[in-house]
Amino acid sequence: MADKSSEALITVARMYYVQAETMDAIAHHLGVSRSTVSRLLKEARERGLVRVTIVDPDRPLGRLADLFQQHFRVNAHIVQVRPGASNVFRLDQVARTAADILGELVTDGDTIGVAWGTTTSAIATHLRPRDLSGVTVIGLNGGANHQTTGLPYVGSILHRFADAFRGQEQLLALPAFFDDPATREAMWRERSTRHILRVRDSCRIALFGVGALGADLQSHVYASNYLNPDDLDDLQRQGVVGDVCTVMLREDGSYRDLEINRRATGMTPAELQRVPRRICVVSGLAKASPVLGALRAGVATDLVIDQETARAVLARMKPGIRLG
């Protein structure tokens, strides 16, 4: 819960930046001087409660963001990373930006869905603590496989998000993939499972990365025994390029006819679309194809992506497109 000082700063900042009231009007409404309002606004900026972002459409990053909005109706946050940077450094920079964006969105009482993986694990390391109340963090997909429960790995990620927002975490204690679709259907009928799925369905914010088959910096689902070599070969034959929440996708955004998805426990693109804010976080050129599939499937309202990968996604979508 915010202290009284923070509440005053937020009140003044909201009146000035969101409601577009003048400093004189705010001073009159609150019974303080104009100079006090100016001081409070300055303090709100210094404490990170207000951030001003300027997007110049005549500059390359603004042009890229506009193209993502035009073609996919997503708010694109383009992260500039130095040329030649390693994939690890690129991920770190994108994760840092995503953590800041998430921190600004979360409010008291929110339910946040987080898909486990390399990307969200990196984001968790950059979260800044906020004094909130009533926040719930829930997994968007199960994390067990035939060799591990997945709970230490998945639980550690969710715990770091919950800890940053003074909330509680709830695990989706299920495998990432059942062996048989009938088993999944039976589990979905269990009262305990229905309860946790209702919590998941109540998310106001969803945060997830995009997995890629064959990426240099491998997604956890492809590197940690969730899929055997025959599974991977079968996915490639079917044109799968990656996944969101361990639900497999083709580049054209299709996924419903893939047999493996009948066994998956992650939120499907159709289910994700019911979440008001959906933050997709991506870095690395190997992910251009699965990101394009994810955007075509409508999974995101917000995209956090490095500049080089953003260009690769748009070029793959429309060869010859002018990127500025």
> Domain spans of the chain?
4-46, 60-317
Query: Angle at Cα 122 formed by Cα 97 and Cα 299, nearest 5°?
Result: 70
Query: What gap in Å lies between CA 197 and CA 3, rounded to an integer?
Result: 34
The model carries a pTM of: 0.80
- Residue 101: name the closest of 275, 301, 293, 245 by CA: 301
Query: What gap in Å lies between CA 286 and CA 214, rounded to an integer?
Result: 8
Strands (E), the chain: 75-79, 111-114, 136-139, 168-170, 205-208, 211-212, 240-244, 247-250, 277-282, 302-306
Q: Which two tokens stand for residue 155?
A: 């639980």
pLDDT of residue 178: 92
Q: What does DSSP say about strands 302-306 and 277-282: parallel, antiparallel, or unpaired?
A: parallel
Burial letters 119-135, b for 16+ CB under 10 A, else e: bbbbbbebbeebebeeb
Query: What gap in Å lies between CA 44 and CA 181, rounded to an integer?
Result: 52
CATH top class, domain 60-317: alpha beta
Q: Which two tokens stand for residue 272?
A: 């994700």
pLDDT of residue 46: 77
Q: Which two tokens stand for residue 106?
A: 């979360």
Query: What gap in Å lies between CA 245 and CA 231, rounded to an integer?
Result: 17
Taking CA atoms, 255 is separated from 224, 240, 314, 322, in Å, by 22, 9, 21, 30
pLDDT of residue 217: 59
pLDDT of residue 225: 74
pLDDT of residue 262: 96
Residues of the chain whose pLDDT is less than 50?
Answer: 1-2, 58
Phi then psi dihedrals of residue 177, to 5 deg: -135, 130
Strand order in the sheet with 211-212: 211-212, 240-244, 247-250
Domain 4-46, CATH among 1.10.10.60, 2.40.50.140, 2.40.170.20, 3.40.50.1820? 1.10.10.60
pLDDT of residue 1: 41
Query: What gap in Å lies between CA 265 and CA 321, rounded to an integer?
Result: 37
Query: What gap in Å lies between CA 142 and CA 134, rounded to an integer?
Result: 23
